[in-house]
Amino acid sequence: MTRRSLLLSTLSAATLADVATAQQHAHAATAAKALLRYLTPTDTPEIEALAAQIIPSDGTPGAKEAGCIHFIDRALKTFDQEKRTLYRDGLAAQKKRAELLPSSISIARLDPAHAIALLKSIEQTEFFALLRTHTIMGFLAAPEWGGNQGMVGWAHIGLEHKMDFQPPFGFYDEKSK
């Protein structure tokens, strides 16, 4: 055994243990419905209701079941901090629009028809574009990022979660023989 192979095998074992620990932590956090770190308790159901209309639960799990709200919260807390103002202003504007609809005191309590009408009225706004992007990302992202809980997004598109990826046999394999 060479020093190089010994070093690589040692590093691989250490890395695998770290990866397994990180995955276990992420799984526990999503299973326990981790607390939100940025969104307020009053904003959370409003944003979740809008996201649930973007990817509805029509016979299959939707944005709510995938926990997209957790991905959105994480995005606004970490890599998309500069979008916080857009969310705050956009959500405030939607709350005002929702108040104009019959018998509504919040977006989360709108019936589906009124919620869809509200979304159609804002679909050309920057807020809606960002909310749609975050919802889709949360539905399809790795569960470690907060969304796609139970891997429902991946199941919806037919993606199998595997720890080991094996590329399909191709012309490049033929040349290596």
Is the pLDDT confidence value at 88 over 80?
A: yes
HSE, side-chain direction, 13 A CA sphere, residue 4: 0
pTM (two decimals):
0.73
Q: What local confidence, expressed as pLDDT, does residue 98 receive?
A: 84
CA 92 to chain centre: 22
Do residues 97 and 128 touch, judged by C-beta distance below 8 A?
Answer: no
The whole-angstrom separation of Cα 121 and Cα 127 is 12
pLDDT in tens, 56-80: 998 899 999 999 999 999 999 999 9
Rg (CA), the chain: 21
The whole-angstrom separation of Cα 16 and Cα 35 is 28
pLDDT in tens, 148-172: 999 999 999 988 777 666 666 676 6
Evaluated on CA atoms 35, 38, 41, 46, the torsion sign reads negative
Which stretch of 2-6, 15-19, 63-67, 121-125 has the lowest confidence by average pLDDT? Answer: 15-19
Q: What local confidence, expressed as pLDDT, does residue 10 receive?
A: 56
Q: At what angle do helices 126-140 and 112-122 cross, to 10 degrees?
A: 120
Per-residue pLDDT band for 14 (boundaries 50, 70, 90) equals very low
Is the pLDDT confidence value at 99 over 70?
A: yes
